């Protein structure tokens, strides 16, 4: 194939790249190509837990979570397919006084940003969800319409939406090897030939965003680290199921229903950046065993259950857990999820399409999404987003 010309070329066919292409098409951005070095969704997207939480720790997080939820549901309706979204309600649990105070402040921030969010005292929590040992917690924040998507269904829908769009071409097994300036646009060299594009969107994910940006001398602080998951096939007779999502932020684990059982996701705070380049990583059984007593005590229905599946994979992170939505050089855009690409992916695609077509991102604080924030002096008034997995400091 020789010199295909596009208005926008998206590098990466994960949740972010696919949603970007789909939203570009909805906005009539011209001919769009997606170049994916493997198969669509086959990176972090398919390995994720799919939690979709509007209860963010910053204005940006709340708005992106809310918009993503809406977009997942809208796409399901549009395609007349299961959206993949399952609404369960979601408790974020406070273990310390400091968390309790911080979480209560976040309830206000979230309400101002447009979502329903309540503070739940342990007594009320016990009444609503007696399956949890509320004596361990000082309360929780709760949103009733949070939940999760089944990652394979979400990936299928986004890929199908892209394949159904006349103005988008999807190239799988198409690795982007170099990006060069060419006139007012870019020449993109791939394993499947050379493309010309007016604009390029780098949505290369934990194992590509940094490398692809490096091709045009842009430094992007997207790193990868291990995050791991176990699933249990079914809860014991009499246990409430489905149950609401639970996040013990301080310990870096969360629990959600999975078919008739449960899924637990966990991140070790001592994990370092993983520079192997692999998506699939070794499961850290020792860490799993060290954390297991905690969730078994908190949610006794999980105690002693057999494991049906376990895996560890590369999760992306940025230094402040927030996304990157920016035009790093004229016509070269960077999109990264900061480790929240399932709960924010649709909204990030929407916002990136907005930036490409309209030249600006509406309704989000610029200093929570731009690339420049990593090299500026930190704003002392900016409150860090604390509702996130523990990621490495480097």
Ligand X SMILES: Cc1cc2nc3c(=O)[nH]c(=O)nc-3n(C[C@H](O)[C@H](O)[C@H](O)COP(=O)(O)OP(=O)(O)OC[C@H]3O[C@@H](n4cnc5c(N)ncnc54)[C@H](O)[C@@H]3O)c2cc1C
Interaction between residue 210 and ligand X (CB under 6 A):
no
Cα distances (angstroms) measured from residue 258 to each of 42, 43, 194, 362: 20, 21, 43, 36
Interaction between residue 390 and ligand X (CB under 6 A):
no
Residue 119: HSE in the Cβ half-sphere, 13 Å Cα cutoff: 15
In what side-by-side order are the strands of the sheet with 147-149?
Answer: 51-52, 147-149, 85-87
Residues 253-282 touching ligand X, rule: CB under 6 A, are: 265
Q: Among 9, 21, 33, 51, indicate the residue that binds ligand X (CB under 6 A).
A: 51
User: Could you say which DSSP state residue 382 is in?
Assistant: P
Count of residues for the chain?
A: 394
| Binding flags for ligand X, 326-345, as an x/- string (CB under 6 A) | -----------x-xxxxx-x
Interaction between residue 34 and ligand X (CB under 6 A):
no
Q: Among 8, 9, 10, 15, indicate the residue that binds ligand X (CB under 6 A).
A: 15
Cβ-based nearer residue to ligand X, 106 or 134: 106
Torsional class of 84: left (φ above 0), alpha (ψ -120 to 50), beta (otherwise) = left
Q: How far is the CB of 121 from ligand X (least distance, A)?
A: 27
Interaction between residue 63 and ligand X (CB under 6 A):
no
Q: How far is the CB of 264 from ligand X (least distance, A)?
A: 11
Residues 169-198 touching ligand X, rule: CB under 6 A, are: 175-176
Cβ-based nearer residue to ligand X, 214 or 384: 214
- Residue 206 CB contacts under 8 Å (≥ 6 apart), including other chains: 43, 44, 222, 223, 224, 279, 314, 315, 316, 317
Q: Which of 209, 225, 211, 345 is nearest to 279 (CA)?
A: 225
Interaction between residue 31 and ligand X (CB under 6 A):
no
Q: Among 31, 50, 120, 332, indicate the residue that binds ligand X (CB under 6 A).
A: 50
Interaction between residue 208 and ligand X (CB under 6 A):
yes
Q: How far is the CB of 32 from ligand X (least distance, A)?
A: 15
Interaction between residue 36 and ligand X (CB under 6 A):
yes
Interaction between residue 313 and ligand X (CB under 6 A):
yes
Q: How far is the CB of 203 from ligand X (least distance, A)?
A: 5
| Rg, C-alpha atoms of the chain | 21
In whole angstroms, give the CA distance from residue 238 to residue 8. 53
Interaction between residue 55 and ligand X (CB under 6 A):
no
Interaction between residue 49 and ligand X (CB under 6 A):
yes
Write down the H helix ranges in the chain.
Answer: 15-26, 44-47, 59-79, 97-112, 122-128, 151-164, 209-214, 285-298, 345-358
Residues that bind ligand X (CB under 6 A): 11-17, 35-38, 42-45, 47-51, 175-176, 203-208, 212, 227, 229, 265, 313-316, 337, 339-343, 345
């Amino acid at each position: 194939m020789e010199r295909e010309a596009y208005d926008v070329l998206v590098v990466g066919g994960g949740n972010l790249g696919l949603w970007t292409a789909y939203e570009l098409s909805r906005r009539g951005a011209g001919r769009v190509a997606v170049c994916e070095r493997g198969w669509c969704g086959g990176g972090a997207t398919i390995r994720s837990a799919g939690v979709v939480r509007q209860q963010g720790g910053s204005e940006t997080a709340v708005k992106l979570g809310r918009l993503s939820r809406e977009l997942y549901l809208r796409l399901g309706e549009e395609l007349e397919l299961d959206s993949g979204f399952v609404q369960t309600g979601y408790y974020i649990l406070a273990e310390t006084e400091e968390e309790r105070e911080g979480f209560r402040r976040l309830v206000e921030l979230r309400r101002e940003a447009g979502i329903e969010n309540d503070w739940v005292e342990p007594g009320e929590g016990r009444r609503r969800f007696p399956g949890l040992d509320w004596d361990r917690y000082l309360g929780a924040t709760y949103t009733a319409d949070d939940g999760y998507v089944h990652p394979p269904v979400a990936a299928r829908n986004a890929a199908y939406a892209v394949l159904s769009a006349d103005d988008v071409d999807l190239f799988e097994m198409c690795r982007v090897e170099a990006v060069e300036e060419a006139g007012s646009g870019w020449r993109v060299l791939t394993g499947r030939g050379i493309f010309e594009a007016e604009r390029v969107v780098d949505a290369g994910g934990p194992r590509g965003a940094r490398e692809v940006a490096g091709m045009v001398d842009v430094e992007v602080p997207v790193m990868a680290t291990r995050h791991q998951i176990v699933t249990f096939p079914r809860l014991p007779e009499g246990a409430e199921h489905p149950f609401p999502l639970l996040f013990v932020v301080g310990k870096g684990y969360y629990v959600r229903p999975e078919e008739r059982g449960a899924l637990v996701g966990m991140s070790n705070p001592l994990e370092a950046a993983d520079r192997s380049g692999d998506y699939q990583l070794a499961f850290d059984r020792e860490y799993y065993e060290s954390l297991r007593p905690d969730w078994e005590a908190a949610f006794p229905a999980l105690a002693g259950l057999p494991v049906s599946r376990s895996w560890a994979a590369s999760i992306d992170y940025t230094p402040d857990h927030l996304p990157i939505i920016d035009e790093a050089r004229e016509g070269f855009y960077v999109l990264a999820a900061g480790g929240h690409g399932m709960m924010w992916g649709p909204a990030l695609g929407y916002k990136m399409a907005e930036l490409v077509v309209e030249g600006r991102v509406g309704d989000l604080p610029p200093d929570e999404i731009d690339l420049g924030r990593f090299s500026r002096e930190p704003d002392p008034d900016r409150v860090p987003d604390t509702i996130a997995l523990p990621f490495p400091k480097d």
